[in-house]
Chain A
Amino acid sequence: MIDIFLSKFGIAKLAYFNIGNRYYTASEKLLALNKEIDKKPELIGTFLGEIKDGKFSPSLPLLSIIAKDTNEKVIIKEIGENDFLYGKNLRPRHILKIEGTMKEGFLKIVVNEKNECLGMAKLKKITGNEASFRNIIDLGDYLRRERK
C-alpha cells in the first residue's frame, strides 16, 4: 500500500519494512541492534506511516523524504505558511507556484519558499489559473497530537 502511495509522487524506490501495520525505514545497524533486544520497539529509525481503516496514512518524515524527489508539489508563500500550519486549507492567495499534474483530486506535497516540507494537500478546485487545496496533514499535527 505504501508503494501505491509513493507512486503517486513518482517515487519508485524506498527501502522499508513493517511491524504490524506500521512502516519504518532504518539502518542495518539499528535492525541488528533490535535483534539483540527481546521487545517490540515503539520506534525504530524513521516512522513512515501506518495503515489506518484500510488506507495508508503517511507520516510527516515520509512526506519530507518524498519532497526531496517529487515534482508533485505546491509551493506556498510565507503568509500561507502560518494558516496551513494551523490546519487551514490553501487558498489562491497563499500559493506561489504549483508543480506537476494539474488535476482535481491529486495529492501535492506542500513546501515553503525554502523548499521545507510542511505537509500534504489535495487539489480541490481549479478556477482558471488559480487553485485551492484541502489540507490533509501539516506539521501543526505535532502540537495537536500532544493536546489530545
Chain B
Amino acid sequence: MNNQFTQRYEELGWEFVEVHNKHCIRVNNLKTNARELIKRLEAKGMSIKKVPFLENGYYVRSKYSLGATPEYLLGLYGSQEVASQLPVKVLKPEGLVLDACAAPGGKTAQIAEKADAVIALESQSSRIPSLVNNLERLGVSNALVYQSDARSFEAKLKFRKILVDAPCSGNFVTDKGWFEKQSLSNFNSRQKLQKEILANVLTLLEEKGELVYSTCSLEPEENEMVLQWAIEKLGLKVVPIDCIGANGLTDVFGNKLDSQIKNAKRIWPDLVGTQGFFIAKMVRK
C-alpha cells in the first residue's frame, strides 16, 4: 500500500504494514473475576491469553462470536480492543470522573469499576441506546448519562479525572475503506472539535485534577498538534505515563513541537496487533 497517508506515516518514522486486529475482551469485575470467567470460556473451547500490559484484558480465539455468548449477555465481559483499554488504565479513575465522549461506553464501564461515580456525555442521540445498553448489561450502577455536547456541557461540579476519548477520523485497521474516505481537511475539522471539547471540559477539572486525551487516529493533526495547542492556549502540561507505545512526536512534518509532547504515547498498529491509538495525560501547569 502506498498513498498520501502511508507516505505521511513514513515521514513520521513508521513504515506501513497491514495489521490484523486480535480479538480481545475485558473481564468485568463488577460481575465476575478473571479466574472464573477464563474457566467458563475455556470450557467452551476458547483459547485465552492474558494481555501482559493490561489489568483485565485477554486475547481470545473462539469459534463463536464474542459478542453473542451467554457470558457476554450476562455482562461477564466486554469485547474491547487491546489499545482501547489503555486510556482508562492511564487515567487511574478515582473519585468523580467525567467521560466526555462516551458512546458506546466500553471505557465508561471500565471507569465505573474504579471511580466513586462517573458522568458520561454523548452528543449523538442515536448513540445513547448503545451506551445505556452496555452499561446496563455490564451491571454499572454508579453512572449518570446525559445527552450533551461536551463543548458546552455545564455543571456545578468539579471532576478529579476527565477522559476525552475524542471523536476522530479513526484508522485503517478497524475501518477497511479508511484510506479512500479520508482527507487532510477532515483531520483539520476534527482538530477544531477536539480543541473545543478540551477547552470546555477543562473548566470542570479540579485544580489538581488530571485529564486524559485519547484518539484512535494516527494523524498528528488530531494528536500532537492538539497537545501543542493545549500547552500554549490552555496552560496544560503533558506528563509522563506508564503505557506501551512510541513517544509522542515533537517534529511533525518539519514543525518543531514542545518537548513535553514526548510524554504522550503513540501506538502504531503493528506494536501489539491493535488499531492505532494516541494517549496523553495532562494537568494544569
Please give the residue numbers on chain A whose beta carbons come within 8 Å of chain B beta carbons, in ascending order: 26-27, 29-30, 33-34, 36-47, 59-61, 64, 81-82, 85, 112, 116, 118, 139-140, 142-143, 145-146
| A36-B157, A59-B136 known; A42 vs B128 contact (CB < 8 Å) | yes
Residues facing A in B147-161 (CB within 8 A) are 147-148, 154-157
**In angstroms, how far is the closest chain A Cβ from the Cβ of B144?**
5
B284 an interface residue at 8 Å Cβ cutoff? Answer: no
A41 lies within 8 A of B145 (CB): yes
B146 lies within 8 A of A37 (CB): yes
Roughly how many angstroms separate A38 CA and B86 CA in the complex, as a whole number? 32
The winner among B142, B145, B157 for most chain A CB atoms within 10 A is B142
Interface string of B54-84 (1 = CB under 8 A from A): 0000000000000110100110000000000
When the two chains form the complex, which single residue of A33, A140, A145 contacts B96, counting CB atoms closer than 8 Å? A33
| A41-B145, A60-B136, A142-B137 known; A33 vs B119 contact (CB < 8 Å) | yes
B116 lies within 8 A of A29 (CB): yes
When the two chains form the complex, which single residue of A30, A46, A142 contacts B133, counting CB atoms closer than 8 Å? A142
The winner among A43, A47, A85, A140 for most chain B CB atoms within 10 A is A43
B218 an interface residue at 8 Å Cβ cutoff? Answer: no
Number of interface residues of B (CB under 8 A): 31
3 closest A-B pairs (Cβ-Cβ)?
A139-B73, A43-B145, A36-B156
Chain A residues with Cβ below 8 Å from B143 are: 43, 45
A39 lies within 8 A of B117 (CB): no
B132 lies within 8 A of A45 (CB): no
Secondary structure of the B contact surface, majority rule: mixed
Roughly how many angstroms separate A34 CA and B146 CA in the complex, as a whole number? 10
Roughly how many angstroms separate A38 CA and B130 CA in the complex, as a whole number? 23
Residue of B nearest to A82 (CB): B70
Roughly how many angstroms separate A36 CA and B144 CA in the complex, as a whole number? 12
B211 an interface residue at 8 Å Cβ cutoff? Answer: no
B129 an interface residue at 8 Å Cβ cutoff? Answer: yes
Roughly how many angstroms separate A42 CA and B125 CA in the complex, as a whole number? 10
Chain A residues with Cβ below 8 Å from B133 are: 142, 145-146
B146 lies within 8 A of A143 (CB): no
| A61-B139, A142-B133 known; A43 vs B73 contact (CB < 8 Å) | no
B136 lies within 8 A of A39 (CB): no
| A33-B157, A43-B132, A43-B144 known; A139 vs B119 contact (CB < 8 Å) | no
| A29-B116, A29-B117, A145-B133 known; A41 vs B144 contact (CB < 8 Å) | yes
A39 lies within 8 A of B74 (CB): no
B264 an interface residue at 8 Å Cβ cutoff? Answer: no
Chain B residues with Cβ below 8 Å from A29 are: 116-117, 142
Chain B residues with Cβ below 8 Å from A30 are: 117, 142, 144
Given A42-B146, A143-B68, 4 more contacts at CB 8 Å?
A33-B144, A43-B144, A45-B142, A85-B73
B7 an interface residue at 8 Å Cβ cutoff? Answer: no
B141 an interface residue at 8 Å Cβ cutoff? Answer: yes
**In angstroms, how far is the closest chain A Cβ from the Cβ of B181?**
24
Residue of A nearest to B130 (CB): A146
Roughly how many angstroms separate A43 CA and B155 CA in the complex, as a whole number? 17
Chain A residues with Cβ below 8 Å from B117 are: 27, 29-30, 33
Chain A residues with Cβ below 8 Å from B135 are: 43
Chain A residues with Cβ below 8 Å from B141 are: 26-27, 45-46
Roughly how many angstroms separate A29 CA and B144 CA in the complex, as a whole number? 11
A143 lies within 8 A of B73 (CB): yes
Roughly how many angstroms separate A17 CA and B148 CA in the complex, as a whole number? 23
Chain B residues with Cβ below 8 Å from A39 are: 146-148
Chain B residues with Cβ below 8 Å from A139 are: 70, 73-74, 137
Roughly how many angstroms separate A42 CA and B136 CA in the complex, as a whole number? 12
